[in-house]
Amino acid sequence: MAFSGGKRRIVRFFVKTVKVAGFVYDFRTVTLVFVTMKFLTLFLVLCATAALSKDPDKVNVWSMQRAPVGATPQAVGSAANGCQLGAQMLEAEGDGFISIRRWRNRFYSQPITLKLVRRVGQEVATMHGAKILIGDLSQPVGGEMPFGHSSHQNGLDVDIWFYAVPAGSQPDKEVEPPSMVDGAAGTLVPGLWQAAYRDALYAAATFPETNRIFVNPVIKAHLCDTESDTRWLHKIRPWIGHDSHFHVRLNCPPGSPECVTQAAIPPGDGCDADLYKWVADQSDAILNPKPPKPPKPKPIKTPPETCTALLAPERRP
């Protein structure tokens, strides 16, 4: 078995150490130890995975659906309790955007969501010669995700990162877009915010089918303080987190009679005292943390019947 230079040095150090302790092992013996440890670790991981798969309470049945179902696109239920039929796949890369974290298999949505992504990408490409990163959309049939989101279930949500790369380049495979926000100070982190992010938000907010966009309250406050015309900020809503990406939610499209659109946003641009209270409360929570409250049991949601019918009988909730 071949070892890299670093691993070879580790093995030699190990051999030297056991000799000092009064034991004598040759290189082959130590190699066998390393190989045994490696396969033992793999065996334990496989056992844990098998145990998890046998516990229905710990298995997310929606993420086990690996391909869309149905030919006609249709959003069903709400963003936090729904599914989708006839989902379409977002390409890995397009004009002005790159889809990341494809291993999650969350690059499916309703056609209107893909139209929104391409609209934002075209704006970033035209204005800045760059590509913005696209995060999660929905799973092939939507539904609840095993981690990361409670929404994104009916094909009408998408995360767009505050991270852009020059056209013709690729982000690092393990890229983790940084936070734009200094929550304690209630300001943006100096030097990180780009005009491309503002323009991406503008493109999404002025997209006719957009219902609302979630951003960190500090980002909304920055836009309120710097925009000469704040009318387009109406759909941009403050929400905790959302400091390294913004979350777009669309209205129910035609042809989706079972879709539930979120309640309308109050009139106005939202640049008011309530917004700045969000900023102050976030800062206070960071600077003066309170003891965590005991977790409350999550209510059990019953998906629409159309959604449960998408699952194999043995996998239905």
pLDDT of residue 312: 62
pLDDT attached to residue 313: 60
Half-sphere exposure in the Cβ direction for 70 (13 Å, CA): 21
> For residues 293 and 295, what is the distance between their CA atoms, to the nearest angstrom?
6
State residue 63's pLDDT score: 73
Q: Which residues pair with 108 in a beta bridge?
A: 89, 138
Is position 181 within any domain?
Answer: yes
Q: What is the reported pLDDT for 310?
A: 86
> pLDDT value at position 317?
55
Query: What pLDDT sits at residue 196?
Result: 98
In this structure, are strands 236-238 and 210-215 parallel, antiparallel, or unpaired? parallel
Containing structural domain, residue 252: 75-286
Confidence at residue 35, expressed as pLDDT on a 0 to 100 scale:
37
pLDDT of residue 208: 96
CA distance 79 to 167: 32
Residue 272: inside a domain, yes or no? yes
Q: What is the CATH number of the domain that holds 279?
A: 3.30.1380.10
Domain for residue 113, yes or no? Answer: yes
Q: How far apart are CA 305 and CA 291, in angstroms?
A: 40
Considering its fold, how many domains does the chain have in total?
A: 1
**Predicted pLDDT at 267:** 94
Confirm whether 54 is domain-assigned.
no
* pLDDT at residue 96, as a whole number: 98
What is the mean pLDDT of each successive set of 10 residues along the chain, which is 317 residues long? 44 38 39 40 39 46 80 93 96 96 90 98 98 94 75 93 93 88 97 97 98 98 98 97 96 96 93 97 96 85 90 59
The answer to the question of residue 21 being in a domain is no
Per-residue model confidence (pLDDT) at position 301? 85
Q: Which amino acid is at 164?
A: A
Quote the CA–CA distance of 58 and 25 in Å, as a whole number: 44
pLDDT at res. 18? 39
The token pair at 207 is: 């997209």
Place of tokens 């393990």: 174
